Structure 1
Amino acid sequence: MDNKNISFKHKYTADFYRMTGIKDRNLVQNIFFFLKSHNLRFMYYYRKYQSSKRLIFRLILFFYSRKYGLEISPNANIDDGLYLGHPYNITVAEGVEIGKNVNIHKGVTIGLESRGKRNGVPRIGNNVYVGINSTIAGKVRIGNDVMIAPNTFINFDVPSHSVVIGNPAIIHSKSFATESYVNFCV
């Protein structure tokens, strides 16, 4: 078995656990959740395409992107344990770096800013919760253990152990900011 296949299985297993809470699953559970949850199907083909670069998986990703609005670039660097909550109309630009145990919810945009001092894409740390309809734009760094409240616009660096609220965004320092929000960590 090659390293790409091991990487695929490891990453998808982590995603499956984060989205379902089931660690030791059997074939029936695999099939049931795969058929029931389009977020799991999308991540399965996303991880498959990243590990093999086969055209068939890219075409399936294209289909799911159009059907559910999951515009997550195959060239984004997403670590283990991505959780897609209410997975509709999510946009993640090419080159974005996302750490482990990150929750992304409906309507989120994580994208490129193409001018000025923040020209580039975001880097998001581990254990981050990105709430519904939030936007993270430009070459910014989001630290570890950060809670981004719904409808928040971020175009600046956010330190670790923070809660970010509003537009214009306000940062509140808080230890264990994502406790009870980011669950089933890998």
Structure 2
Amino acid sequence: MDLFADDYFRKTGKQWKNTFGIKAFFLPVDLKFLYHFRKSQIKKRTYSYHWILQTRIRRKLGLDIFPEMEIGGGLYLGHPWGITINPEAKMGRNINIHKGVTIGKENRGARKGAPLIRDSVWIGTNATIVGNVEIGTDVMIAANAFVNCSVPDHSVVMGNPCIIIPKENATLGYINLVRQIPD
């Protein structure tokens, strides 16, 4: 449940205290989804209690985020409506995803496959990332950007076609409340 503890800390700035799920009833809808999403990732049974609840919340919010996905801890869903992520996409730690984001797969051509998104990436409203591309660490993807090319570390991406601007600490001030992992 460490992944949810990271998600919870990113949203609230507080440590998660497991109270046998009782506290989960009183969470905001985005954290409630993440709680049941992370639990159903652990349980792996298709029709477990948590799988059913995360599916109901997912449908209510219009989220296409599935428990089979590889997503690191510290996932932050800012305004979690209408987000679509292909199950083959892989995502690192401390990712911010906002309303209307699409992370999809290309089925043919040079970029056939799904994206790999590294740590500390901020993805703005209605951004689209498609194909077998790699998004580096500390990358900010601006709202409405269309990304179909690989992006190096420490960059800002905007526009269609994507324009990549190198920038140190690109997500400074945007990726907040990161839980420190003890050595």
Q: Same fold (TM over 0.5)?
A: yes
Is 1:103 the counterpart of 2:103? The answer is no
Deviates more, 1:34-43 or 1:168-177: 34-43
- d(CA) in 2 for partners of 1:78, 1:181: 19
Is 1:135 the counterpart of 2:128? The answer is yes
Percent of paired sites with the same residue: 46
- d(CA) in 2 for partners of 1:73, 1:37: 19
Deviates more, 1:63-72 or 1:123-132: 63-72
| Matched-pair contact (CA < 8 Å) for 1:103–1:128 | yes
What SS does the aligned partner of 1:103 have? strand
- After the TM superposition, which residues 110-121 of structure 1 pair with which residues of structure 2 at under 5 Å, given as runs? 110-121=103-114
| Matched-pair contact (CA < 8 Å) for 2:81–2:99 | yes
Aligned to 1:22: 14
- d(CA) in 2 for partners of 1:180, 1:26: 29
| Matched-pair contact (CA < 8 Å) for 1:34–1:40 | no
**TM-score, length-normalised on structure 1?**
0.89
- d(CA) in 1 for partners of 2:11, 2:43: 23
Q: Which amino acid counterpart does residue 38 of structure 1 have in structure 2?
A: V
5+ unaligned residues in a row in structure 2: which ranges?
none
5+ unaligned residues in a row in structure 1: which ranges?
1-8
Q: Which amino acid counterpart does residue 96 of structure 2 have in structure 1?
A: N
Shift of 1:36: 4.5
Q: CA RMSD in A?
A: 1.6
Displacement over 4 Å in runs of 4+:
24-27
Aligned to 1:163: 156
Number of equivalences? 175
**TM-score, length-normalised on structure 2?**
0.90
- d(CA) in 2 for partners of 1:88, 1:24: 24
Aligned to 1:63: 56
